[in-house]
Amino acid sequence: MDKPTISTIIVIICLLIIGLYAMGEVNYYSSKIIVERNIDAPKIIIPSIGVEEKINNETLNQGVLSDPAENIPTESPVLLYGHRTLQGSPFLRLNELGIGDTFLLEWPGVGELNYSVVNTAIVPADYQINANDENETYLITCDPIGSTENRLIIQGELIEKGPINTQILKNNPQESNAIIISAIFLAIGLVFSFFYPKDNRIYILATILIISAILFYCYINPMPSEIIYDKIIFLNGGL
Say if residue 236's pLDDT is above 60. Answer: no
Write down the pLDDT at residue 36.
63
Say if residue 238's pLDDT is above 50. Answer: no
Write down the pLDDT at residue 231.
64
Question: What are the CB-based long-range contacts (under 8 Å, 24+) for 3-8?
Answer: 4/200, 4/203, 5/200, 8/200, 8/203, 8/204
Residue 165's pLDDT band (boundaries 50, 70, 90)? confident
Q: Which residue has the higher pLDDT, 16 or 148?
A: 16
Model confidence pLDDT, tens digit, residues 34-82: 666 666 789 899 999 989 888 988 888 778 999 888 899 999 999 999 9
User: Would you state the CATH architecture of domain 38-170?
Assistant: Beta Barrel (2.40)
Say if residue 155's pLDDT is above 90. Answer: yes
Q: Which residue has the higher pLDDT, 34 or 8?
A: 8
- Residue 83, sorted as left (phi over 0), alpha (psi -120 to 50) or beta, turns out to be beta
What predicted TM-score, i.e. pTM, was given to this entire model? 0.76
Model confidence pLDDT, tens digit, residues 178-235: 899 999 999 999 999 999 999 999 999 999 999 999 999 998 888 776 677 666 665 5
Going from the C-alpha of 131 to that of each of 6, 82, 157, 181, the distances in angstroms are 56, 18, 12, 38
**Mapping DSSP to helix (H, G, I), strand (E, B) and coil, where does residue 101 land?**
coil
Model confidence pLDDT, tens digit, residues 81-126: 998 887 788 899 999 999 999 999 999 989 999 999 999 999 998 8
Helix (H) or strand (E) holding 86: none
Domain boundaries, the chain: 6-32+175-236, 38-170
